[in-house]
Structure 1
Amino acid sequence: MSDWRRWDPPVLGLPRAAFRPSAIFLALVGLFALSGLMAWHQVTPRLAVFLFVVSGWLVSLCLHEYAHAVVAYRSGDTDVAHRGYLTLNPLKYSNVLLSIILPLLVVVLGGIGLPGGAVWVDHAAIRGRLRKSLISLAGPATNVLFTLVLVIPFAFDPDVFVHLEFWSGVALLAFLQLTATVLNLLPVPGLDGGNALQPWLKPNTRRMYDVLAPYGFILLFVLLWEPTVNRYFFDAVYAVGDLLGLDRQLYALGFDLIRFWQR
């Protein structure tokens, strides 16, 4: 039977705690809701927008990595449950620096949704190239979903000036999700887009890919540092944002607000 039709059930016998959302994730969701309410009512608005965007971004990171893990689990790597990846606990990720701290710094200082390298998947336990590609694509799919959910309110043309701080935070979050989607899908070794292609490469090319994969983030920074590539990248992101109805001035305001220490 071809691998796209076969979907092995997970191994039974794991404790329920392996699948239960962690207290840390629930606290992030609570902070996201509370700070959104604060921004809506303009309670310490700059700090509120900062907390709203940061907690929302962290929630999206948790769900991004959870998507990788749950598809890997359903595809045969049941060890992801033992490693705690299905609890949505960001502290369980294989590299907290690359998965949480670095992307968060880039969000706050650069206004870019940087993808993070987090869950470790035992590819030897995964049978079939299509499954391996789907595991890699599951994370960016959550960013696409987040982007669409966040831009839906703007389709109804809300009066953003009534709750300007809140809507600027929503617009910035949508922009961050959009940049994360595009970056994740770039065919760069080590990123999700490259990892989705890796199983389909010829053996010699795959070996070269595996050598370059640990340096994917460095390659990404080098690419974005190059002025022409940087311009094409942001032109593409801005064009998609315009198509989705995102107001550039609105998410620029959101970026200004989250850097509350500058004023």
Structure 2
Amino acid sequence: MSSSSGHSETTMVSALERAGFTVLEVSLVGRKHESPDYLRLDHTSYPGCEAHAFTLAHAARWTGALDMHGDIILAHDAGSQINEEAGSPSPSGSGWERLASVALDLGERLRGYRGRIEQGHYPGVVWGSHAQTWFRAMWAVSYLPPPVVDKFIDYVDYFIRPHIIRLNELGFWTKESCSGLPEEHPDREPYWPYVMFEERTYPLAVPHLFTLADLAGWIPTYAPHDFDVYVRAPKGHAFSESWKSLVESAEYLAAILEPYRFSCYSVNGLGGNHRNIPLADPDHNIHPIRR
């Protein structure tokens, strides 16, 4: 391994550890080998880390997968079809430098989430634990076209209409929502503030939605019909601040995920099955699980 490769590895491991991950294995093989660079992260780094690791991988134009133990394999292929120009935090840097850059930024933004974990506020649903086995009785296999917001916005609570419009503009498509404000529901007690997001947008959108909620301090789970992602505002916070945080977090994620999303649509179009959770075999080759 060259000195520059060793420096990249050290920088990468340091960045991931600062982001809260425990690095179990690193393989920096370089462009001359058929196998991609990869690293393995401990799924017990902290509860919910799997969704964050997948989001990190996609934002850095790496590939995320789960191995047989549930640990996370992040792999980088220099010949990846993901657009290497648009939206990169470090477009001229190597894949490892880009991953380190995104890890430091995303990890810092998730500091509040990890702090809540340290205080004993554990998530009720961990995406990585359910990703391969979660039952989706009514799940349709095809991607959906973007919603026409004008057709439903008049049915959205008035206070949150700008937020719902913005979330949809950012590619986080909404299906249901409630502002939580009593004055908007004078005939009954309102639901606690929530948004239900459509998961059939592009491959592996669900870990991004879990990460969105964690960044904003909201609480993610699956919707009552066993698919889509339902997020609700935390207790003890002003509703206006909670909604603002959700939109700001969506703006951040939309920006760093732009190359990944572009690759999904340019390579896959709007058709196909995105129910496949990548699984890494013992040699760290990544395959989708067909369900």
Tell me, yes or no, whether TM beats 0.5: no
**Larger relative helix fraction:** 1
TM-score (norm 1): 0.28
TM-score, scaled to structure 2: 0.26
